[in-house]
A and B are shown apart, each in its own frame.
Chain A
C-alpha cells in the first residue's frame, strides 16, 4: 500500500544508528572547493549551471534583437546569429537544465530525501562536478577561438556541422564535441551515484513506494540519461573522427565549396538517429525531475496528499520506458523511410496518456486542498498551465502528418520552449523558492519573488503563445532574417517586435531573481526549521542547513509515505515521514 502506515515499520525500534565513516573536510579547500559533500557539490553544480545559463540567456536576447529589429544591430551578422542560436540551444538543454536538475537538485535532495548520509561514492561525485566544470569551460572557450563557436544548430547535423559554409568549423565544432564528451563522462560518474544511492542507501523503512516523487523523477531520469547519453557520446566521437581523421561515418559523397569533397558513403541520417536516440530521452531527463519536484511542492503547499501516488510513480516509469521508442518523431521530414511514421506517431501519442494523467493528478491535488499561494505554489500553477500548453502542441507535432507543415517553423520553436524550456525552468524557480530556506536558513524576498513570478509567467506566455501562430503562417525557424516573402503579412513584423520586447522584459526579471538570491543569502527573513511544514526527510534533519552527514548521529526511520498531509484523526495538518506512530498527536 502506498498510503498510510505500513505495519512492519511500526515495530522497528528507533535504535541509535552510528554515523558511518565519512571523510569530514579538514580545510577550506576540502570543505568548499574539492568537497565530497553532496550538498556542496549540488551548490557547485547549480552555480555553474546558472552561470552558463546566464550566457545562454544573453544569447537569446541577441537572437531576438535580430529577429525583432533586423538591420538595426550591425554587429549581428548571419554568422554570429547562427552561433547564438546554436550555443543558446546547447547551453540551455544540456549545460543548464540537465546539470541543474540532476547535478544540482539530484545531489542535494536524493541523499536527504531517502535518509542517507551522502551519495554512496562521494569521491566520484566530486570528480563528476569537476569534469562538468571542465566541460563547461571548454564550451565557453569556443567563444574565443578563431572562427568562434559552432553555428551548426544545437542538433549539430553533419555534413553541415563540419563543412564549409557553417561558422566555427575549425575550432568551434571540435570544442563543442569534446566538451559534450567530457560532459557525458562527468555525468556518468554522477548518474551512477544517484542510481546506486537510491537503490542501496535508503534508510530503514524507506521503501521504493514511500519515496517522494522528486526522488522517483530524478531516479528514472538518471537511468534514462545513463542509457541515452552514450548514443550522443558515440555520435560526437564519430563526428570528430569524420572531421579530424577523414573517416566517413556521417559524410557522404558531396560538394564542398563547389568541388568534390573527400568523403564517400557516410550516412547523415545515422547521425540523426543517434542524436535523437539521445535527444528524445533528453526531453524526459529534464521533464521527469520537474514532474517529481512539482508533485512534492504542490502537495506541500496545498496541504494535501498528492493524488494517485502509485499512478504517478508508474506514469514516471512508463514515460521513461516509452521515451526510448519515440525518437524518430523528430525526423518525420528527415527523409527516413516514411513508413516509420506510423510507428513513431503511435508511440508518441501513447506517451501522452501517462503524461496527461500526471497533469490531471496535479490539478486533482489542488481540488479540496487548502492552498497556500506561496511563491513556490504560484510557480507550480504556472508550470501546470505552461506544460499543458506545450504538451498539447506536442500532440500536433507528434501526429506525423500534422508535423509535416509545422516542422522547422516557429511553431516548433514555441512548442519546445513551452514544454522543455519554460515549464522546467518554472519548476526550477519553484524549487529554489521552496528549498532555499533549507539550503540557507532564510527565505527569498517575497515582494521580488512576486515580481519575478508575474513577469516570468505572463511574459513567457505572451512570448510563446502567439509565436505558434507565426508557425501556422509558415515562418521558418533558424532564419537570420525573413526578408521578402509573398505569404508573411506585415503584421508579423509587429508581432516579432513585440516578442523581442517581452523577451527583454522577462530577461530583466531573471536578473532581479539572481539579485534576490544573492541579497537573501545575507539578509533574507530567517526561516527556521521546516518552514513549509513539510513531511519529507530533508526538512527533518537536526540542523538547517543540514550538516555533513545530513542527519547527525541517528539516521531517521521512515514510517510512512511522503504525503501524509491533513490525515484524518491527527491534529497537525502534516505528519513527517520519520515521526514514530506513537508520537502522533
Chain B
C-alpha cells in the first residue's frame, strides 16, 4: 500500500517538477530549434510511457498484494499481447528517431555559403581565427608554432596572410549568417560548448573537426570547455558575442591579421600568390570589412 502510494507520488511529482522547476534550457540563440523540437517530442513520448508504466505498476502492487486466500494467475506467455507491445514500442521509437534524424541531416549538411571560422583550443584558453577578405583560412600545423606564430599558420599559404587572429579575447559572430566552426586543438581534447547554441563538438589534436550554426539572437554568451582537458578544464572559458551586421563589422575593423600581428613569421614566405577574391556572399556580409582588410593586407 505504502509502496503503491509512493510510486504514484513519484510519477505525478516528476511531472509536476518537470512543469514547475526553475531549471530548464537557456533561451536558444542559434538555428538549432529543431534540436529543441526533438527534445520536446522525446519528452512527450517517453513521459507518457513513464507515467503509464509506473501507474500500472502501482495498481498491480496494490491490487495483487499478498493475501493468504489468493492464488496468482498462471500465464506463461501471451503472444498477442507481446506482439502488441513490441509494435507499440517500435512505433514510439520511430516517432523519436524520425525528427531526430531529420534534424541530424541538417546538422551534418553545412551550407555552401557558410563563413569559415576557426576555434583553436589549448590548455586552458580559447583563441579564434577568421579568414579575412579571401574567405579562406590558411593551412596550419602544430610544428610551425613559435612565439611569433602562436597559431602555427603556414606562412607559405597565401590564404593565411590575411587571417584575422583573436588571442585571449572575445569571439564575435555576425547575426543571421551561417558559420562553419572549424575546430582545432593544439594539445589535448577540448570541446567548444555554448549552451545557447545547442551545438557542441570536440576539438581533437591531429584533425580538424567542425559543426555549423546560424546565430539568431544578439547577445553575449559563455564559451565553456565540455571535454575533460586536465586540471584547468573548468576554468577554460571565453565569451562569444553575437552582433548585428553593423556592430560586427565595426568590431572586425579593429582586429588585426596574421601579417600585421606577426610580420616576421608571415614574411617567411617563399611564394606569395596574389590574394584571391573571396566568395561574393562573404563580400556582402563584410561589406565594410573589405576596406579594412585591404588596409591590412598591403
Contact = CB atoms under 8 A, between A and B. Distances in A.
Interface string B91-125: 00100110011011001100000000000001100
Q: Which of A160, A309, A378 has the most CB of B within 10 A?
A: A160
The number of chain A residues touching the other chain, given as a range, is 35 or more
B253 interface: no
A531 B76 CA distance: 24
A465 B21 CA distance: 12
A543 to B, nearest CB: 29
Tell me whether chain B's interface is mostly helix, strand or loop, or mixed.
mixed
A369 B205 contact: no
Given A165-B229, A252-B205, A335-B183, A349 B97 contact: yes
A371 B61 contact: yes
Interface in A480-512: 480-483, 485-487, 489, 491-492, 495
Contact of A345 (B35, B104, B186): B104
Interface of A: 2-4, 78-79, 82, 151-153, 157, 159-160, 163, 165-167, 252-256, 260, 265-269, 302-305, 307-311, 333-335, 338-339, 341-342, 345-346, 349-350, 352-353, 356-357, 359-360, 363-364, 366-373, 378, 381, 384-385, 388-389, 392, 395-396, 399-402, 404-405, 407-409, 458, 461, 465-466, 469-470, 472-474, 476, 478-483, 485-487, 489, 491-492, 495, 563, 565-568, 573
A404 B97 contact: no
Contacts of A310: 77
Given A260-B145, A401-B103, A563 B207 contact: no
Q: Which of B64, B85, B96, B188 has the most CB of A within 10 A?
A: B188
24 contacts: A157-B189, A159-B205, A163-B230, A167-B231, A254-B186, A260-B143, A269-B207, A304-B72, A305-B76, A310-B77, A333-B191, A335-B183, A346-B101, A349-B97, A353-B86, A370-B71, A371-B66, A373-B66, A381-B57, A399-B38, A400-B100, A407-B226, A476-B224, A485-B224
Contact of B64 (A367, A384, A400, A404): A367
Interface of B: 3, 6-7, 10, 14, 17, 21-26, 32, 34-35, 38-39, 42, 46, 49-50, 53-54, 56-57, 60-61, 64-67, 70-78, 81-82, 85-86, 89-90, 93, 96-97, 100-101, 103-104, 107-108, 122-123, 141-143, 145, 183, 185-189, 191, 193, 195-196, 198-207, 209, 220-222, 224-235, 237
Contact of A396 (B23, B39, B75): B39
Given A405-B200, A458-B6, 14 more contacts: A152-B228, A157-B228, A357-B89, A363-B57, A368-B64, A369-B60, A369-B64, A370-B66, A395-B96, A401-B34, A408-B226, A466-B23, A474-B195, A492-B23
B31 to A, nearest CB: 13
Nearest to A339: B108
Given A408-B193, A479-B234, A483-B234, A307 B75 contact: yes
Q: 7 closest A-B pairs (Cβ-Cβ)?
A: A252-B206, A474-B195, A335-B209, A165-B230, A3-B76, A368-B73, A469-B23
A78 B247 CA distance: 39
Contacts of A342: 101, 104
B85 A254 contact: no
Nearest to A561: B76
A353 B94 CA distance: 11
B65 A333 contact: no
B200 A333 contact: yes
B26 A408 contact: no
Q: Which of B14, B22, B24 has the most CB of A within 10 A?
A: B22
A482 B222 CA distance: 12
Contacts of A159: 187-189, 205
Given A165-B232, A350-B93, A353-B90, A384 B77 contact: no
B205 A482 contact: no
Contacts of A389: 50
B86 A357 contact: yes
Contacts of B226: 333, 407-409, 476
A487 B195 contact: yes
Contacts of A487: 26, 195-196, 221-222
Contacts of B10: 385, 461
A364 B56 CA distance: 9
A345 B106 CA distance: 15
B60 A346 contact: no
A461 B200 CA distance: 29
A486 B23 contact: no
Contacts of B93: 349-350, 352-353, 395
A483 B124 CA distance: 15
Nearest to A367: B60
Given A335-B203, A566-B72, A255 B187 contact: yes
B24 A473 contact: yes
Contact of A402 (B7, B35, B71): B35
Contacts of B209: 335
A573 B10 CA distance: 33
A334 B75 contact: no
A253 B206 contact: yes
Given A345-B104, A378-B3, A489-B22, A566 B73 contact: yes
